[in-house]
Structure 1
Amino acid sequence: MPASPSTARAINDRLALRLLQQEGALTATQLKQLTGLSRPTVADLVERLTEAGLITVVGEAGEQRRGPNAKLYGIVAGRAHLAALDVRTESVSVLVSDLVGRVLAEASVPIGDDAGTGPAVEQAVALVERAAKEAGADRPHTVGIGAPGLIDPATGELRATIGLPAWHRRLVATVQERFPESVVRVENETNLAALAEQREGAARDRETFVLLWLGRGIGAAVVLDGTLRRGVSGGAGEIGFLPVPGTSALPSATDCDGGFHSLAGATAVVALAAEHGLTGPPGARPPRAETLVREAVRRAAATGEAAAREAAAREGEAGEGEAREAADGADPAAAGRFLDALAERVALGAAAVVSVLDPGCVVLAGEIGRAGGEALATRVGARLARLSPLSTEVRHSLLGGEAVLRGALLTARDRAQDDLFGPAAQ
């Protein structure tokens, strides 16, 4: 059954707006080429969207020709403001952007362990208010929130989770109370990181992949055929509870300490580093797991460079003393053995996921995954190849610490576009 004229116009308008969002400013001729629509149809939609205040003339095409240059049309970026929050156990970060994703304000605030629920929530909400004001907005049209824990797929609410601060759940409700006209969406942080890596990062060329979150907690996000899969209860990817070899006990329904979490979570990584003599400077505060991993990567890289210089020096006479000095100070064995042992642990969890889903690609993210970078990803890939017959590429996050915020912003932008442009055609 052919679409009615009004439905066809809505589909064409949405297509044009999506292209302007993705490609930036375009001429009517470029819109015609990219949409495949006729010239009169494009002219009508440009007029319609301009009158609706959704697009405007933002310049002229650079090509010089006889007569006037072609007009460039772009989305009215200030039509809506978007806010994104990355909620951690010890901090909150926020950024505010316009409708095309240009960041207008960003800030963060630490939240101490001793802060009560009320003060912690007030600190976080006040941060959003200040950022919105700095961006020139009375309120954000849409707020995307990324937080650890499970999201109830039926209600979209953050569920109570053992080990997470009580103020997390209260924060979501308070943001909605403080901005009653805004649309507030909350999503698991690992899922948001996966969405961001899919659109802007390490998985841009992948329709199917798994993102492993390695940090204070352990989790995974599953993207199959371009769609994020959350599971019936919102718990798809809770691999911290995965039973794996090498643990002292089995996990339980209320405690994942006996599962994969006890091998690859931040506390376990710090202990593993200590076993290999990596403990940080004497007298300093106990270092975080990601700091130890980053230092190990640095030492391993320095060791490789020093070894190469020493080998080159043995073939010639110049520089031999310098090469030996660098090699002696690099402490190669400890750093290398630690990264190898960590990779063995990460590969255990990855192999279980791969054997069930066969995603073809695993992205290492979270604080530890980012700190390990290419060095850790390469090691995990090599060990995974020995554990599983399924060909799987292991990559590291390209978005770093911004992945959750970027994912929250993309989610907010999608919702705002649905409201302003109309839902995307199925």
Structure 2
Amino acid sequence: MPASPSAARAINDREALLLLRDGPLTAGQLTRLTGLSRPTIAELVKRLGDAGLVTVVGEADVRRRGPNAQLYGIVRDRAHVAALDIRTHSVAVVVADLLGTVLAEAATPVDRDTPASAVDRTVDLVTDAARRAGAQALHSVGIGVPGLVDPATGELRRTPGLPQWHGGVMSALRDLPGRLVVENETSVAALAEHRAGNAGDRDTFALLWLGHGTGAALVLDGTLHRGASGGAGELGFLPVPGVPGPVPGNGFHTLASSAAITALAAEHGLTATAAPHEPSAAAVVREAVAVGAERFLDALADRVAIGAASITSVLDPGCVVLGGEIGRAGGDPLAARVADRLAAWSPIPTTVRPSALGGSAVLRGALLTACEAAQDDLFSHCARA
């Protein structure tokens, strides 16, 4: 059954908006990309303009007789969004326009031993950044947070070792106007690596997170795999030989967390000073690569490869990105060593790459989720109008 005229208009409007999300286009370009007629595109652009979603943003830079074609783009300040990267001891926030251009950003350390103060400080950070960005209200807020996030409800589930104030922040932010989108930090980091990092050419890959803690995220056929309870990729709980269990916090985490890697580095006579808010191990791994500390890098690769092999042997993703600050600090030297170990242990071919984004992937991914939530809502609302 053919679509009704109103349904067809809604489909066309949404397709055009999704195309414009990637940058301004002329009416002629929209005609070619959508396959619609020029009169239909002209009517569509006027309709979206009347709805306050599309406007003229310039002219096409084309040498020809007569006036240049007008470029149409999404109205960036139609809505504002925020993104948060919530760690154990710190919070970072950005506020951006509808297309993700950052307008204000801030970060602050928090004291996990005073939950009420940590919650107040986080809320103040968000509201102050929104004010500096000129946002009257926030349409959507994307959050990357350690721990289990229920995929059905978006609620943060109790996870061993995480501070109490995380739950308080979620409750406080839900009381603010706007839509809250909560994801596990490694999951949003994988989205960022897929869109803007080192996995853009892969529809299926795994991100092995190496930061303060450890974890993994799985993108299968272009879709983030969260698991039945939101626990897919919780690699820190993976039992490993020689580590007593079952004890919360034991497992792969004791091999590849920042504290474990720093201790390993000390055994090899390596020390370095980390940047603010950076895991201590990132600095020593970066130093090891710089000075060519082969024995330490080999020992580190032995540990990281255990986590990578647990993913590749079950899911065969074809590509593993070593994420987080430590994965990026290790660069190609660490990635190559991990790849060698995987090849020696299994016939499953696996590419191993370092992260292009490091720790910033969490905030970048949280911003992507916030922008998409706002765009989906506004575009769908326009389609229904």
- TM class by shorter chain equals over 0.9
Q: Percent of aligned positions with the same letter in both sequences?
A: 65
Q: In the alignment, what sits opposite 2:276?
A: none
What amino acid maps onto 1:74 in structure 2?
Answer: G
Q: In the alignment, what sits opposite 1:166?
A: 164
CA contact (8 A) 2:161 2:249 kept: no
Q: In the alignment, what sits opposite 2:5?
A: 5
For residues 219-250 of structure 1, the C-alpha deviation after alignment (integer angstroms, 9 at most, x for no partner) is: 110110000011111000111122233x2323
2:65 and 2:210 map into 1 onto residues whose CA distance is 59
- Segments of 5+ residues of structure 1 without an aligned counterpart are 282-286, 301-334
Per the normalisation by structure 2, the TM-score is 0.95
Deviation at 1:176, TM superposition (A): 2.0
2:129 and 2:72 map into 1 onto residues whose CA distance is 29
Q: In the alignment, what sits opposite 2:334?
A: 376
CA contact (8 A) 1:244 1:349 kept: no
1:234 matched to 2:230? The reply is yes
- The match for 1:274 among 266, 272, 278 is 266
1:403 matched to 2:361? The reply is yes
What amino acid maps onto 2:109 in structure 1?
Answer: P
After superposing the two structures, state which structure 1 stretch, 75-84 or 6-15, moved more.
Answer: 6-15
1:347 matched to 2:343? The reply is no
For residues 134-177 of structure 1, the C-alpha deviation after alignment (integer angstroms, 9 at most, x for no partner) is: 10012211000111000012221111212111111110110121
CA contact (8 A) 2:112 2:118 kept: no
1:40 and 1:381 map into 2 onto residues whose CA distance is 55
- Segments of 5+ residues of structure 2 without an aligned counterpart are 274-278
**Secondary structure of the corresponding residue to residue 25 of structure 2:** coil
2:262 and 2:61 map into 1 onto residues whose CA distance is 56
Deviation at 1:113, TM superposition (A): 4.2
2:205 and 2:272 map into 1 onto residues whose CA distance is 35
Deviation at 1:202, TM superposition (A): 0.7
CA contact (8 A) 1:87 1:147 kept: yes
Q: In the alignment, what sits opposite 1:74?
A: 73
1:255 matched to 2:248? The reply is yes
Q: In the alignment, what sits opposite 2:130?
A: 132
CA contact (8 A) 2:31 2:38 kept: yes
Q: What is the number of equivalent residue pairs in this alignment?
A: 378
Deviation at 1:75, TM superposition (A): 0.4
What amino acid maps onto 1:393 in structure 2?
Answer: T
2:285 and 2:20 map into 1 onto residues whose CA distance is 42
Deviation at 1:389, TM superposition (A): 0.7
What amino acid maps onto 1:261 in structure 2?
Answer: H
**Secondary structure of the corresponding residue to residue 165 of structure 1:** coil
What amino acid maps onto 2:142 in structure 1?
Answer: G
**Secondary structure of the corresponding residue to residue 136 of structure 1:** coil
CA contact (8 A) 1:203 1:209 kept: yes
What amino acid maps onto 1:255 in structure 2?
Answer: P
For residues 317-374 of structure 1, the C-alpha deviation after alignment (integer angstroms, 9 at most, x for no partner) is: xxxxxxxxxxxxxxxxxx2100111001111111111010000000011122122122
Q: In the alignment, what sits opposite 1:19?
A: 19
- The match for 1:207 among 199, 203, 207 is 203
**Secondary structure of the corresponding residue to residue 83 of structure 1:** strand
For residues 298-317 of structure 1, the C-alpha deviation after alignment (integer angstroms, 9 at most, x for no partner) is: 111xxxxxxxxxxxxxxxxx
